[in-house]
Amino acid sequence: MDKALFDEMIATRRRIHRRPEEGWTEFETNWLVVERLREIGGFDILLGTKVVNPEAVMGRSEKLVKEAIERALANGVPQSFIDETEGYTGCVAVLDTGRPGPTTAFRCDMDCVIVSETADPAHVPNAEGFASERPGFMHACGHDAHTAVGLAVARWLAEHRDELCGRFKLVFQPAEEGVRGGGAIAASGVLDDVDQLIGGHVGTFARLGEVGLCHTGFLASTKLDIYFEGTPSHAGADPHKGRSALMAACATAMMMQGIPRHGEGTTRVSVGRLVAGEGRNVTPVHAFMQAEVRGSSGEINQYMVDAVENIVKGNAVAYGVKGRIEKAGEATTLDDCPELLDVIRSVAGGIDGVKRVFDESRPSGSEDCTMLIRRVKEHGGRGTYFLFGCNQNGHHRADFDIQDTESLPVAFEVFTGVAKKLNGLAA
């Protein structure tokens, strides 16, 4: 890898790491991406509702978006760019070589995790001066690396376009955490002409020097926001006049843990947040829950969703409260694409520093790149996903780190090698 490009890629990752932004609020990161792409030149850059279908957006807070825009403006993002976004983060950069050939898309996500970065002085971002500047927010899943690799790949594509054919689409996706952004990008139709889409992720089951080929394993998932509304009363004088939203929520949380597991595949259920009540001596009127279910197929995941809906309805009746559910995120499963995985296998096997290329199908988390892949497949294309390794203590942890100088070049070499295999003039 060219040293100047390597240095730029690492510096970009560390710059993004300092300014983490949660899903649908990545205006500073999005501006960095667009500014760099315009500096490189040769790309048609699509923003706003050209890449995000507002009707398919999930889990987006207008309040947080407004605050993020104000923060971005205060940190040097121009108002003209904010106007271009129409309030929606996300970007697709299109490079047309001018020669007939396939359309290949690479996907990179941009958002952070709501985690406070460790203050341990031995933690590399602290030791080398690029730790998060925003308490409570951290790139604890590696999306800063994904975006930096994507920009390095963009520069490489532009510099090598005379050796390539067809078109490339680089998808810089918002709101992967909570699987909220992929569906809205897919629903925009911006990928409907794509012949093949490839996504990648740092870490997970891959250690440093390894590349994992994902055959299956991602779980279909639905993120659910659950609301209960009760009736207030004086908890001492008139407890019989009140109806407790808190008790309905607690019962729901407990009953969700008891949903019978499906005999034909893996299931998961989690209640990650429950906020309720107004005060010690007031029957709780409001309760809010953030929950999720997962399944090894869309049908099994829907079985879990249906069970949660029944529990909420039943407890609303039992506790005399109002209950409602909003879908806040969605991902599907990953279908095997052996032909594309074989391309990645052949590329990864020739990369310096890669000691092991392995096949992966274990159930793990969920990924809304699956929504992009599904859309591409629905229009006759194909898609797949790979892992590039790092030695991490666990994702979404305060001490997460990725050894960027060693892990990022592997991802860069995979993406650019795949570009040569699929869109090279000799391909």
- Dump pLDDT digits (tens) for 51-80: 999 999 999 999 999 999 999 999 999 999
Domains along the sequence of the chain with CATH: 3-218+334-423 (3.40.630.10), 220-331 (3.30.70.360)
Unique residue bearing structure tokens 């050894």: 403
List b or e across 241-250, with b for residues whose CB sees 16 or more CB atoms inside 10 angstroms: ebbbbbbbbb
Please give the single-letter amino acid code of residue 395: H
pLDDT band of residue 426 (cuts 50, 70, 90) is confident
Please tell me the predicted confidence (pLDDT) of residue 427: 55
Query: Residue 270: is its pLDDT beyond 60?
Result: yes
Closest CA to 147 of 169, 170, 168: 170
Residue with tokens 């892990």: 407
At residue 260, what are phi and psi to the nearest 5 degrees?
-60, 130
Tokens of 15: 């710059």
> What is the C-alpha to C-alpha distance for residues 249 and 245, in angstroms, rounded to an integer?
6
pLDDT band at 49 (very low <50, low <70, confident <90, very high): very high
Residue 215 has what pLDDT?
94
Q: Please tell me the distance from the alpha carbon of residue 133 to that of residue 119, in angstroms, as a whole number.
A: 12
1 confidence band (pLDDT: 50, 70, 90): confident
Closest among 274, 294, 271 to 227, alpha carbons compared = 274
Residues 154, 159, 160, 166: is their CA dihedral positive or negative? positive
In this predicted model, what pLDDT tens digit does every residue of 323-369 receive, in sequence order? 999 999 999 999 899 999 999 999 999 999 999 999 999 877 899 99
d(CA 242, CA 319) in angstroms, rounded, equals 10
Amino acid at 269: V
Mean pLDDT over the full length of the chain: 96
How many Å apart are CA 213 and CA 422, to the nearest integer?
17
Q: How much is the pLDDT for 56?
A: 96
Which percentage of the chain shows pLDDT scores above 70? 100
- Condensed to tens digits (0 to 9), the pLDDT of residues 308-324 reads 999 999 999 999 999 99
Amino acid found at 244: S
HSE at residue 411, side-chain half, CA atoms within 13 A, is: 39
Average pLDDT over residues 149-156: 98
**Residue 344 in contact with residue 155, Cβ under 8 Å?**
no
pLDDT on residue 272: 94
